[in-house]
Amino acid sequence: MLIDLSDMKSGFCDRLRQITFCFAYQKLSKKKIKKIEIFEKKTKECPYYFTDFLKISDYKIINIKKKNNKIKTIKMNPFNSNISIETCKRFNTLDQINNYQLLKEWKKTYKLLHPKKKIYLRVKNILKNKNITCIHSRITDKLKSYLNFLLEIPNKDVIYKKQINEFCNNINKMIDRKTINIYIASDEGIYRKKILKSLDRKFKIINKKQHFKEGKLRQTSGEDFITDLFVMSSSKAIISTTGGNVPLTALLISKKRQKYIKWTSAKLNYKISHFIRRVIFFLRNI
């Protein structure tokens, strides 16, 4: 099978949706194929390859430079690849595969993802600290003015300045009292520093030092991003500013039950703002 990611012009976790779907689909088709080819290109939204950092249990994955049109291909984009029964119906062309079984297998496939050795050892060393709470701060392409927040499409997770400031002010209340170890998964330095400053001194910050490429859309390296993702998947709790694909992916990878708080859905006035967004979107599309 060929996984063609050329239309997936968005982040790494969106690419993972298509890749995991294809593996689940391949498994249920009952064809004994253990080699999967991936065609992908680096972009500013995703400046690294799947094959650089991840592997999938029992499969050989090859990153190819030129597509072979004779191989069966599944091609998705960011707008038709949500993990849903509708996506399964759209891309499942085999009568013998039940769409609900496919959706279940799709979600299970995330648990077969593993970081390559260098990152695995890095994650393993971090996880020596037990009972970690992970604070996920996604800001670079998510922070909007309130007006732009209201005009954004409803299914896009974004945040405005008042919300992120209130997140920092309330962060200690959201962390379980027994928690000692804190891991901050952040994509930029300014609000990471604000979160650090807001945290009680009793907490141990595991990854206190982190480097960012300021001015770029993706300010973290691929190794840092995958490390964040797998530490998050093994943490006791995830507290996220905006939610989105990264914590969702971590929850799917995880082999245990986790507490998950999405700040932009935590308060009634935030839910009202989100409802207003939906109304505006509906009116603009009449």
**pLDDT for 133 beyond 90:** yes
Domains, the chain, ordered by start: 2-115 (no CATH), 118-284 (3.40.50)
pLDDT bin (cut points 50, 70, 90) of residue 143 is confident
pLDDT tens digit sequence for 86-114: 999 999 988 889 999 999 999 999 999 99
Given this model, what pLDDT does residue 167 score?
93
**pLDDT for 158 beyond 70:** yes
pLDDT tens digit sequence for 230-250: 999 999 999 999 988 899 999
% pLDDT > 90, the chain: 47
pLDDT tens digit sequence for 162-208: 999 999 999 999 999 889 999 999 888 888 889 999 998 889 999 87
Given this model, what pLDDT does residue 15 score?
92
pLDDT bin (cut points 50, 70, 90) of residue 63 is confident
Given this model, what pLDDT does residue 100 score?
96
Q: Closest by alpha carbon to 72, among 96, 49, 93?
A: 93
Residues 6+ apart with CB under 8 A from 154: 274, 277, 278, 281
pLDDT bin (cut points 50, 70, 90) of residue 216 is low
